[in-house]
Chain A
Amino acid sequence: MRSVRIWFKKTGSAKYISHLDLNRFVARALRRAQLPLWYTEGFNPRPHTAFSLPLPLGVESVCECVDIKIEGEIDDGEILRRISGASVPGIEFYSVTEPVLEPPKIGFAKYEFIFFPDDGDGTALKDSIASRLASGSLPAEKKTKKGTMRQLNLAEFISEARTDLCDGEVTLEAVLTAGNENNINPLLLARVLLEGTSYDYRLAKITRLKLYDAQHNEYR
């Protein structure tokens, strides 16, 4: 038995597939791909799947991964070929690797935000976002695992941020803390950045670009 990490993109309307639904989707795709899977030993044997970092509903990604356990002879290229054939548009499997870092090692994630200002002139919006980021104070409320609300300053969890303006679209690339501790939902940042403006944060296009460990090395 060996573990393999399967990398995939989740784009377009596939961003509306929730994490739980994705779990089921991947389990079925693995069955359709007829991979020699290792099954859990229990009353209801099931293939083992472990996702590195859940993606919020409505956010796209080009760097998702899921670890599975293989029992039997099959090379990584064949795994990729078969799982790709069992997928749907929007979920594109692109690489199969040996897991180097365990999912709890994840420390940061890089996101791209694209805001579409209605008036076509994004200068004002870009300036407003940039000044909020520069202020160092982005108060927000986050639900804790216990269900209570926690007050935090999002600025403390942003390690890198760059705003830009291109063809009327305001873009922001930001590295946020991620993983088991202090995971920051990019939708929360979008909401705080757009608070008080006329833009609906839910309409922003957000994409997860990269995962890093706590030392800012690429997650592999």
Chain B
Amino acid sequence: MRDAKIKALLPVVNKPARYTGGELNSVVKDSGSVDIRYAFCFPDTYEIGMSHLGMKILYSLVNARKDAWCERVFAPASDMEDAMRTNGVELFALESGESIKSFDLIGFTLQYELSFSNVLNMLDLAGLPVRSQDRPSLTPLVIAGGPCACNPEPLAPFIDIFLPGEGEEVTNELIDLLKLHKSRGSSKLEFLKDAVKLPGVYVPAFYDVEYNNDGTIKSITAGNGAPEKVSKRIISDLDTVFYPESFVVPFVDIVHDRVVHEIFRGCIRGCRFCQAGFLYRPIREKSPETVSRQSRALCGITGYDEVSLCSLSSSDYTKITQLLEMLLDWSQPENINIALPSLRIDNFSDELMEKLQCVRRSGLTFAPESGTQRLRDAINKNVTEDEVIRTSRKAFSGGWTAVKLYFMLGLPTETQEDVDGIAVLAQRVVDEYYANPDKPKGKSVSVSVSASSFVPKPFTPFQWEPQDTVDMLKEKQDRLRGKVTTRKISLSFHKREMSLMEGVFARGDRRVADVLEFAWRSGCKFDGWDDCFDFQKWSRAFEQCGLTPEFYANRRRDFDEILPWEHMDYGIRKDFLIAENKKAHSAVTTPNCREKCAGCGSNKLNGGKCDALSQNMV
């Protein structure tokens, strides 16, 4: 089975258990008895990829079929990659130890823009040409999905098929179709022409993009029977949708090493900077009964002692208290912890606080996002300073001594006053700790302020906005550093050049693909890692390709400019996004979806249904 060549590498690399496979609940099948072999690739390290819920879902979903075998593939760390290249070992799947070159499907999940160079590197490491046109045979077919597939253009020449939206249904449809065409001996073109008839299948090669002299897009034209606009796929009912009965339990310590359970998709909040809040609409909740039952079964089969509830804003789950009651009912006697991240500040009720006393006490994280009320209104983060302070007070009297505050620098309309406001707010939280009469004796408070750089993303009201330049961000970071006067507040920032590259790929067009390939060929990979990111190489790649990062990141677009993702349909109406953008510039807020439907249009993909609406009516 496992190649002796791979075995010889393991004793000489770091953390070899990342490459051995054989973890509990990993699925090994007889390769001779399946029709489709699927390599699910996560373009980052094992520790990151194994924490990803989407992979767990699709891995189990494909392996539930008798005719297909899904295996896991991660980007090897540099020491392993070097050893593999030196010894002629191709990128292999963990379950079989076999090169993925001969697989039928190679699927990448695109979770963040700075993993794009790893996609190219992994294809190359598998011994495959990176460009789709240089892979003429039907298989392996290279597909990609995940949030970054909403603007797939920077990866267009490399990927055969993108699957925008939720993958639970379309993955099976695509496997069925590929199986059929494989048995017929179809050509790649014949298969792709048939595949675009499936809803939510985007074949970039079937679209022709023309440019104006100023570099903006003139037109995007569909051919070969492909639809003019590709709609993302969504799952209508979360209670009946496939959910894994088991998780692969890794040996090595991964980032999120616990049972993870998604309690709802979408978000009612409409924060204007937040791409996830728009991409995953409309709201669909899973019932507390289903969450509790599935979580308990997963704990039994994995042996995990922690369940983490995941969503974009867990306290907006309508039955949160009921769910916690149900979970604690069995988790406490079994010594299992319940973790509840993504809590909002404003609806942190006393009842919820009381339940939280019983769940594991980790750090408490708030995301005020900006330092002043005016800017919070502009970005529609409907949280007031009083709410931040009141919740901090509750948390401190509940025994917490550490608080994390998340902010962004470079938001549209931001002024110096807004930057200073971050330091002021953090200081008020520190003061609140010392005003608490019950504070633990001799214990200091720790307020960690993380100020990331705002990157405008597609399908948000800020998709037309210029991103702050590297110099502007440096000035703001320096200014904020100067305003913090106590060591009780720690500050952390994002690497500015990384944010620039993130912005380029978030809103880039097809021409950026050349930059990506050039940069990767000159050694760029793991760009999301501080110790690997090499901005000089990226700058040189832009020069070579006759493009500038500023054109993509720092330029304001007109509302009528054709955007690179114009042919992708995520349900959200463009005029809604324009209206939201205008409201941002006059600092006017929009009520959350439960208070009043803002008419974003996303429910049209779900037959007009949205759980935020139906809950209003009862």
Contacts and interface: CB of A to CB of B under 8 A. Distances in A.
A28 B8 contact: no
B460 to A, nearest CB: 40
A131 B252 CA distance: 40
Contacts of B299: 31
A16 B12 contact: no
Contacts of A152: none
Given A13-B20, A90-B22, A200-B12, A29 B303 contact: yes
B97 to A, nearest CB: 10
B22 A13 contact: yes
Contacts of B22: 13-14, 88-90
Interface stretch (A17-25, A64-72, A167-175, A210-218): A17-25
A18 B17 contact: yes
Nearest to A17: B251
Interface string B238-277: 0000000000010111000100000000000000000000
Which bucket holds chain B's interface residue count?
Answer: 20 to 34
| Interface SS of A by simple majority | helix
Given A45-B335, A202-B11, A203-B8, A28 B303 contact: yes
Interface in A58-95: 58, 86, 88-90
A21 B10 contact: no
B337 interface: yes
Which bucket holds chain A's interface residue count?
Answer: 20 to 34
A203 B11 contact: yes
A16 B253 contact: no
B136 interface: no
B24 A88 contact: yes
B337 A44 contact: yes
Contact of A58 (B11, B21, B305): B11
A21 B17 contact: yes
B129 interface: no
A28 B252 CA distance: 13
Nearest to B305: A31
A162 interface: no
A32 B300 CA distance: 6
Contacts of A32: 300-303
Interface string B493-531: 000000000000000000000000000000000000000
Interface of B: 2, 8, 10-12, 15-17, 20-24, 249, 251-253, 257, 299-305, 335, 337, 360
Given A30-B303, A44-B360, 19 more contacts: A13-B10, A13-B22, A16-B16, A16-B17, A16-B20, A18-B15, A20-B253, A21-B253, A24-B253, A25-B251, A27-B305, A31-B305, A32-B300, A32-B301, A46-B305, A46-B335, A200-B12, A202-B12, A203-B8
Q: What 8 pairs between A and B have smallest CB-CB spacing? A: A28-B303, A13-B20, A32-B303, A16-B16, A31-B303, A202-B11, A16-B17, A21-B251
20 contacts: A13-B21, A16-B16, A16-B17, A18-B15, A18-B17, A20-B253, A21-B251, A21-B253, A24-B253, A28-B305, A31-B299, A31-B303, A31-B304, A46-B305, A46-B335, A57-B16, A58-B11, A88-B24, A200-B11, A202-B12
